[in-house]
């Protein structure tokens, strides 16, 4: 059932902010059964992470807690929960939407700054060293073809890609 | 001759010549041509989708456009690349609104997603285009007596609605391939759970614990080696054992081999041609057993 925003003075409109986003569309179908949490390989090992709780906080509009906390970053994107959700909530993609919102607010683990910079500079998220290219030749592998870096950067700017920044104190 | 555009992604050319070599040599023996196209970029997997999902989808679609222009289907070696590209390929084919939106972006770089090609995982090419019977015929060095624990990884199977590789809860494709090579496919606990790779650098302890449970369970099940479909799983389980040794003081000494390496060995490729030195946990035990 859709979550109606009955009071403009509360944070309840956060669930609308999420459902308007790419990946977040299915948030309000969740009925909190917990199939996700019982299918989650991380929740068994790490008490900071529980997908059902994260969805509940999103439904309740607890934006600050989600956006500034660690929890949303602990999903491995394994899609086990999404595969099994009886309500067809696209949970892994919903977490991408929450992370996209957090990044816009300037919050992300430092490693994302590395991914973002590498993508912009090399068109790849793992850089290939000169040594690595030489090794390819020794192994008889064909030389790597050039990456479409200029087109990639045009697409990034057309879609409002923000490069995550590192925080001073490591997270 | 069937031809594919080979999509290497980032991790394989940077770190895993063993995967690429075995894949190329296998298809050479099986009569499939691989074409290296100009312009392919990062597929924009989970870490980039986490930064901006819309950018990621548009860049995945851009890469698909390059293959469409060349009139070639894509074969991806990495689960991450397969997932990113296959998800977008299926989603855009089924959702005209999303396709129109992505095409507005792609127009800025002179591209248009048409929906004319397929994106396949390398194991699908082996199974669909070549087939078990032909692979069996071509085996010159059967892997009999070898107990292999197949490790699918997440992004070959899920989300199954968009990837359509196999049943996400009871897949068989990997076991069938191993058995065609003459090996025994070992069943073990948590076979379909995550390797933890994507938590590296975010929560290293949890990442390592996830890798460790696969080593515990495959050892208990009597596996001679674990076989992987994905370069991230390979790293998590191979280099992961070095980290597990120092953190947990446990030694598993479990060789990790890509399925393509096992196929190449069974087809008679000499081990010296496969860059097996890229493995942190040496594959010698496996080579001895199949010698």
Contact A156, B55 (CB under 8 A): yes
Same domain, B163 and B256: yes
A121 reaches B (C-beta below 8 A): no
Determine the average pLDDT of the residues in A6-10.
Answer: 47
Determine the average pLDDT of the residues in A89-105.
Answer: 97
pLDDT, residue A167, reads 86
Burial B184-204 (b: 16+ CB within 10 A, else e): bbbebeebbbbbbbbbbebbe
Residue range(s) of every CATH 1.10.1060.10 domain in chain A: 11-104
For the stretch A111-167, pLDDT in tens is 999 999 999 999 999 988 888 889 899 999 999 999 999 999 999 999 999 999 998
Listed as ranges, residues in chain B with pLDDT below 70 are none
Which residues in chain A are contacts of B105 at CB distance < 8 A? 155, 158-159
* Residue-by-residue DSSP string for A76-107: ----HHHHH-TT---HHHHHHHHHHHHHHTT-
| Domain end position, chosen among B97, B122, B147 | B122
Domain with residue B78: its CATH number is: 1.20.1050.140
B127 within domain boundaries: no
Of B55, B159, B275, the CB nearest to A82: B159
User: Sorting pLDDT into bands at 50, 70 and 90, what band is A6?
Assistant: very low
DSSP three-state, residue A143: coil
Residue A170 has pLDDT above 50, yes or no: no
Q: CB–CB of B47 and A149 under 8 A? A: no
Tokens read off for A26: 């299915």
For the stretch B41-86, pLDDT in tens is 999 999 999 999 999 999 999 999 999 999 999 999 999 999 999 9
Which residues in chain B are contacts of A100 at CB distance < 8 A? 50-53
Of B62, B160, B197, the CB nearest to A155: B62
CA B107 to CA B284: how far, in whole Å?
Answer: 52
Q: Which residue in this structure is represented by tokens 């009139």?
A: B71
Same domain, B159 and B189: yes
DSSP three-state, residue B5: strand
Q: CB–CB of A92 and B159 under 8 A? A: yes
Contact B47, B201 (CB under 8 A): no
Sheet containing B119-121, strands listed edge to edge, beginning at the edge strand earlier in sequence: B32-35, B2-7, B73-76, B119-121
Q: Which domain covers residue B228, as residue numbers?
A: 132-290
pTM: predicted TM-score of the whole model, two decimal places = 0.95
pLDDT, residue B208, reads 97
Residue A98 has pLDDT above 60, yes or no: yes
Element at B2 (helix H, strand E): strand B2-7
Residue A31 has pLDDT above 90, yes or no: yes
Residue of chain B whose Cα is closest to the Cα of A113:
B51
Which residues in chain A are contacts of B6 at CB distance < 8 A? none
Residue A86's alpha-carbon distances to A32, A34, A72, A91, B8, in angstroms, are 10, 10, 22, 11, 35
CA B49 to chain A, closest CA, distance in angstroms equals 6
Residue A72 has pLDDT above 80, yes or no: yes
**Count of domains forming chain B:** 2
Residue B243's alpha-carbon distances to B200, B246, B249, B255, B284, in angstroms, are 12, 5, 9, 15, 21
Of A92, A127, A161, the CB nearest to B14: A127
Q: Which regions of B114-164 does DSSP assign to beta strands (E)?
A: 119-121, 147-151
CA B139 to CA B180: how far, in whole Å?
Answer: 8
pLDDT, residue A169, reads 63
CA A65 to CA A72: how far, in whole Å?
Answer: 10
Determine the average pLDDT of the residues in A46-66.
Answer: 96
Which residues in chain A are contacts of B15 at CB distance < 8 A? 126, 132
Which residues in chain B are contacts of A123 at CB distance < 8 A? 41-42
Residue A11 has pLDDT above 70, yes or no: no
Interface test with A, best of B38, B87, B101, B202 (most A CBs within 10 A): B202
Which residues in chain A are contacts of B109 at CB distance < 8 A? 151, 154-155
pLDDT, residue A9, reads 46
Residue B199's alpha-carbon distances to A40, A96, B122, B204, B216, in angstroms, are 14, 14, 25, 6, 20
Helix B204-220 to helix B231-248 angle (10° resolution) is 90
A24 reaches B (C-beta below 8 A): no
Considering the four listed CATH numbers 3.40.50.2000, 1.10.1060.10, 1.20.1260.10, 3.30.930.10, the one that applies to the domain covering A11-104 is 1.10.1060.10
B212 Cβ partners below 8 Å, 6+ apart? Answer: B240, B244, B248, B250
CA B30 to CA B267: how far, in whole Å?
Answer: 9
CA A54 to chain B, closest CA, distance in angstroms equals 16
B235 Cβ partners below 8 Å, 6+ apart? Answer: B11, B15, B197
Same domain, B144 and B113: no
| Domain end position, chosen among B86, B103, B122 | B122
Which residues in chain B are contacts of A79 at CB distance < 8 A? 154-155, 158-159
A168 reaches B (C-beta below 8 A): no
């Amino acid at each position: 059932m859709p979550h109606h925003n009955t009071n403009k003075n509360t944070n309840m409109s956060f669930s609308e902010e999420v459902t308007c986003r790419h990946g977040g569309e299915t948030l309000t179908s969740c009925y909190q059964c917990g199939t996700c949490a019982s299918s989650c390989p991380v929740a068994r090992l790490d008490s900071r992470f529980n997908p059902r709780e994260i969805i509940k906080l999103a439904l309740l509009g607890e934006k600050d807690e989600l956006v500034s906390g660690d929890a949303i970053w602990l999903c491995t994107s394994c899609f086990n929960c999404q595969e099994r959700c009886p309500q067809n909530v696209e949970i892994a993609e919903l977490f991408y939407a929450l992370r996209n919102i957090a990044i816009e607010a300037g919050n992300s683990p430092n490693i994302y700054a590395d991914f973002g910079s590498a993508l912009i500079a090399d068109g790849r998220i793992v850089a290939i060293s000169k040594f690595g290219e030489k090794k390819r030749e020794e192994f008889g592998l064909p030389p790597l073809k050039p990456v479409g870096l200029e087109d990639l950067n045009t697409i990034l700017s057309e879609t409002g890609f923000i490069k995550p920044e590192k925080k001073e104190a490591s997270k | 001759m069937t031809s594919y555009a080979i999509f290497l992604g980032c991790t394989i050319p940077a770190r895993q010549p063993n995967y690429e070599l075995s894949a190329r040599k296998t298809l050479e023996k099986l009569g499939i041509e691989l074409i290296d196209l100009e312009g392919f970029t990062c597929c924009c997997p989970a870490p980039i989708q986490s930064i901006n999902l819309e950018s990621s989808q548009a860049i995945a679609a851009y890469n698909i456009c390059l293959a469409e222009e060349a009139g070639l289907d894509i074969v991806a070696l990495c689960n991450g690349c397969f997932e990113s590209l296959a998800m977008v390929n299926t989603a855009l084919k089924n959702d005209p609104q999303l396709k129109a939106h992505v095409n507005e972006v792609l127009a800025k770089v002179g591209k248009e997603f048409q929906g004319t090609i397929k994106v396949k995982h390398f194991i699908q090419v082996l199974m669909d285009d070549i087939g078990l019977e032909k692979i069996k015929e071509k085996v010159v060095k059967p892997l009999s007596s070898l107990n292999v624990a197949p490790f699918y990884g997440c992004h070959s199977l899920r989300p199954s609605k968009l990837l359509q590789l196999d049943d996400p809860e009871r897949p068989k494709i990997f076991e069938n391939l191993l058995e065609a090579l003459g090996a025994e496919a070992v069943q073990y606990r948590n076979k379909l759970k995550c390797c933890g790779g994507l938590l590296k650098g975010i929560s290293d302890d949890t990442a390592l614990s996830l890798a460790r449970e696969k080593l515990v369970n495959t050892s208990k099940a009597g596996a001679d080696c674990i076989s992987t479909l994905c370069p991230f799983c390979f790293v998590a389980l191979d280099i992961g054992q070095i980290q597990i040794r120092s953190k947990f003081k446990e030694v598993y000494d479990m060789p990790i081999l890509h399925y393509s390496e096992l196929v190449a060995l069974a087809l008679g490729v000499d081990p010296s041609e496969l860059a097996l030195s890229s493995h942190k946990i040496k594959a010698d035990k496996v080579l001895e057993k199949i010698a």
